[in-house]
Structure 1
Amino acid sequence: MTHRVTITLDDETFTFLNDVASSNRSAYVNQLLKQERRNFLQTALRKANQEEAEDTNYQEELQAWDSTLPDGLTNV
């Protein structure tokens, strides 16, 4: 599904978009937004991982559960 949007650009930005986007400005803007979304999600994931690593209660809970790993099953 695609959607149409109207945006306002200043002259300098519009000229740049025309110069770099070739004949398909929509595809270029879509690509930029997808990359920005990936960057946003990667930043959020890094932040969540850092918070998890700094959470001593969570780390202690993980260590408690580590004792369940050798559950008596042999690796085949």
Structure 2
Amino acid sequence: MTHRVTITLDEETFAFLNDVASSNRSAYVNQLLKQERRNSLQAALRKANQEEAEDTNYQEELQVWESTLKDGLSDV
């Protein structure tokens, strides 16, 4: 599904878009927005991982569960 959007660009930005987008401005803008979304998600994941690594209570809880990983299993 696609949607139509109307945006306003200044003269310089519009000229740049025309230069780099070839004949399909919509595809170019769509690609830029998808990349920005990926960047945003990656930043959120990095932040969440950093917060997890700094959470001492969580790390202690992980250590408790770590000891149960091989419960009843032999080293083969």
Q: Same fold (TM over 0.5)?
A: yes
User: What secondary structure, in the 3-state scheme, does the structure 2 residue paired with 1:22 have?
Assistant: coil
- Name 1:42's counterpart in structure 2: 42
Q: Structure 1 regions of 5+ residues with no counterpart?
A: none
Cα offset for 1:75? 5.9
User: Root-mean-square deviation (CA), in Å?
Assistant: 1.0
Query: Matches of 2:70 and 2:28 in 1, distance apart?
Result: 52
Kindly state the Cα deviation for residue 70 of structure 1 after the two structures are TM-superposed. 1.3
How much does 1:71 deviate?
1.3
Counterpart-to-counterpart distance in 1, 2:73 and 2:57: 29
Q: Percent identity?
A: 88
Letter matched to residue 62 of structure 1: L
Aligned length: 76
Gaps of 5+ in 2: none
The amino acid that maps onto 1:42 is Q
- 2:28 corresponds to 1:51: no
